[in-house]
């Protein structure tokens, strides 16, 4: 599968630079469940179901990865949905990518922040470690919206800040302005897999 070599190199350099800052995670047993929770970026809009980042991540890690992404979902409904999903799948790791629809629809940022913080706390209350992906704010120059860094700094979770902005900043890796294509989702999965290896989770 052809992946943008330059972007892959850039991501590798970024990961190498921050490798020492990745917190240690407990090793995930072979039968562990990883929950990928979010909206259309998790669901995999712009690619086939088999090409979404959770599906590719499952192939790369050898662990079960549940795709719990719902297209168009805002953070409020996501927060209300999460407890049932955690109870249903009982994951050993949560990968959280949410809030993009709040940003696109210009919803209250303070409410979005509170919703995401509460999602993280729901996982922590069950001793489930969290990896959060930063979502870019709408605009010409893509960068992770600053509220995600604020959340990460105060919740002590693993934060992958620039992955989605970097992918969406490359025309060869996106299907439209807000969704990756199959190659973009593979880059997401490969990067998350590297983070899991750096943390000792796999």
Phi, psi values for residue 90, rounded to 5° = 45, 60
- In the three-class reduction of DSSP (H, G, I as helix; E, B as strand; rest coil), residue 129 is classed as coil
pLDDT value, residue 11: 55
Residue predicted with more confidence, 152 or 143? 152
Phi, psi values for residue 78, rounded to 5° = -65, -45
CB environment 51-84: b (16+ within 10 A), e (fewer) = bbbbbbbbebbebbbbbbbbeebbbeebbeebee
pLDDT value, residue 140: 54
| Residues 198 and 19 sit within 8 Å (Cβ to Cβ) | yes
Average pLDDT, the chain: 90
Per residue in 175-185, pLDDT tens?
998 999 999 99
Per residue in 125-135, pLDDT tens?
999 999 999 99
pLDDT exceeds 50 at position 73: yes
17 burial level (CB within 10 Å; 0-12, 13-18, 19+): exposed
| CATH no. for 29-199 | 3.40.50.1110
CA atoms within 13 A on the CB side of 187: 31
- This prediction's pTM: 0.90
Tokens 């990896």 -> residue: 131
| Residues 34 and 28 sit within 8 Å (Cβ to Cβ) | yes
List the domain boundaries for the chain.
Answer: 29-199
Per residue in 102-120, pLDDT tens?
999 999 999 999 999 999 9
pLDDT value, residue 17: 39
């Amino acid at each position: 599968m052809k992946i943008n070599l330059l972007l892959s190199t850039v991501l590798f350099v970024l990961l190498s630079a921050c490798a020492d800052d990745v917190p240690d995670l407990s090793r995930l047993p072979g039968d562990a469940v990883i929950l990928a929770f979010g909206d259309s970026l998790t669901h995999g809009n712009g690619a086939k179901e088999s090409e979404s980042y959770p599906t590719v991540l499952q192939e790369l890690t050898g662990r079960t990865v549940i795709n719990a992404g719902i297209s168009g979902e805002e953070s409020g409904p996501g927060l209300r949905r999460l407890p049932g999903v955690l109870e249903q799948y009982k994951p050993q790791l949560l990968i959280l990518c949410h809030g993009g629809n709040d940003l696109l629809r210009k919803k209250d940022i303070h409410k979005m922040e509170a919703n995401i913080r509460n999602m993280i706390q729901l996982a922590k209350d069950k001793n489930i470690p969290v990896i959060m992906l930063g979502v870019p704010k709408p605009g010409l120059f893509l960068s992770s919206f600053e509220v995600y860094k604020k959340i990460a700094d105060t919740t002590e979770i693993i934060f992958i800040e620039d992955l989605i902005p970097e992918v969406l900043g490359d025309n060869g890796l996106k299907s439209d302005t807000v969704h990756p294509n199959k190659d973009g989702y593979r880059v997401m999965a490969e990067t998350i897999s590297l983070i899991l290896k750096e943390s000792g989770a796999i």
